């Protein structure tokens, strides 16, 4: 898998620029630029980027076009898509709400 292409795909999905990704991931802009110039990111850097998108490393390397072992319903896919667009604070608040409902 092309790491740069996957990051670009995730950025487009959330309407982020390289600078925007740098801000939400705390990865320096120079590091983001180097990734797009072909430098492979460290695992730590990739984890920071994944955290910013609200995904795990495993999800990063999973082809989103392929069906998973447990296919998601359209409703579940919509929830996952919206989850990925929330800030860390919003995710925490939503989890608190969900915990109170279950």
Q: What was the pLDDT predicted at 62?
A: 83
60 with 73, same domain: the answer is: no
Residue 19: φ, ψ to 5°: -65, -40
pLDDT at position 80: 81
Summarised one tens digit per residue, pLDDT across range 34-61 is: 999 999 999 999 999 999 998 888 888 8
* Together in a domain, 21 and 61: yes
Same domain, 77 and 61: no
Would you place residue 23 in the very low, low, confident or very high pLDDT band (cuts 50, 70, 90)?
very high
Q: What is the DSSP string of 42-100?
A: PHHHHHHHHHHHT--HHHHTS-TTS--SSPPPHHHHHHHHHHHTS-HHHHHHHHHHHHH
State residue 66's pLDDT score.
64
Are both 19 and 43 inside the same structural domain? yes
Tell me if 57 sits within 8 A of 30, measured CB to CB. Answer: no
Number of structural domains in the chain: 2
Domain of 85 in residue numbering reads as 67-102
Residue 12: pLDDT band (50, 70, 90) is very high
CB atoms within 10 A of CB 49: 27
Cβ-contact 2, 62 below 8 angstroms: no
96 and 80 together in one domain:
yes
pTM score above 0.75: no
Instruction: Return the half-sphere exposure (C-beta side, CA atoms, 13 A cut-off) of residue 64.
Output: 12
Q: Are residues 100 and 62 in the same domain?
A: no
Same domain membership, residue 59 and residue 45: yes
Residue of 42, 40, 18 lying closest to 30 (CA atoms): 18
Q: Are residues 17 and 55 in the same domain?
A: yes
Span 20-30, average pLDDT: 94
Statement to judge: residues 13 and 55 lie in one domain? yes
Q: Judge if 37 and 81 occupy the same domain.
A: no
Output the domain CATH number for residue 1: 1.10.260.40
pLDDT in tens, 59-95: 888 876 665 556 778 888 888 888 878 888 898 999 9
């Amino acid at each position: 898998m092309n790491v740069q292409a996957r990051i670009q795909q995730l950025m487009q999905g959330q309407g982020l620029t390289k600078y925007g990704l740098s801000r939400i991931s705390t990865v320096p802009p120079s590091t983001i630029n180097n990734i797009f110039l072909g430098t492979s990111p460290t695992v730590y850097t990739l984890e920071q980027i994944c955290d910013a998108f609200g995904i795990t490393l495993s999800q990063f390397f999973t082809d989103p076009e392929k069906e998973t072992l447990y296919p998601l319903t359209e409703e579940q896919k919509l929830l996952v898509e919206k989850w990925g667009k929330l800030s860390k604070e919003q995710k925490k608040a939503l989890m608190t709400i969900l915990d109170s409902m279950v």
